[in-house]
Amino acid sequence: MCGNHTSYIDPPALGAGCPRPVHFMAKEPLFRVPMLGFLIKRVGAFPVRQHMADRAALRMAIELLQKGECVGMFPEGTRNLTSETLMPPEPGVGLIALRAGVPVIPVALIDTAKLLPPHSIFFRFARIKVVYGPPVALHDLYGQAGREAVEEVGRRIMAAIGELIVGGRSLS
């Protein structure tokens, strides 16, 4: 599952509607925060070093997916705090999708930053919406390698998330 990312509440929000456990890639520094690190390990998260080719994290995600597990990712690579538009995807999402050869479910997380605003440790009263979309069509790219295929996977995933966000906001 791949979703947009605007709040620290996004991982549990994305996973809440999934009928099975979701393993999340989480930025490596979170595992060093005393209580948080313990908790996120216990729910199946694994560390990723951001904005670089973290081969161990890529391998872990692919292995989990090939075993039939569910992996949650935020293709933007970090929280998007400044814009109403989606940031470009990191290449890891495309690489993982192509190597694992599994369906990618786009997820729109709407108004989660109102529930837990950036730089806040306190929740606010807010209604959020989580919209799960149909799998992104990638069958024509499976088996391909190279930058173009990886980038096309990322574009398709982000486009699907963007459509869900627009559609989810219009239902409010």
The secondary structure of 65-81 as a DSSP string is HHTT-EEEB-TTSS---
Could you tell me the two tokens for 21? 């456990």
Domain encompassing residue 78: 2-170
Q: Tens digit of pLDDT per residue, the chain (172 long)? A: 999 999 988 999 999 888 899 999 998 999 999 898 999 998 889 999 887 788 999 999 999 999 999 999 999 988 898 767 899 999 999 999 999 999 999 999 999 988 888 878 888 888 989 999 999 999 999 888 799 999 999 999 999 999 999 988 776 5
Q: Looking at residue 52, what DSSP letter applies?
A: S
**DSSP for 89-102, written as a single string:** PPHHHHHHHHHHT-
Checking phi first, is residue 149 left (phi over 0); if not, alpha (psi -120 to 50) or beta?
alpha
Claim: this prediction has a pTM higher than 0.85:
yes
CATH number at residue 71: 3.40.1130.10
Number of H helices, E strands in the chain: 6, 6
Number of domains in the chain: 1
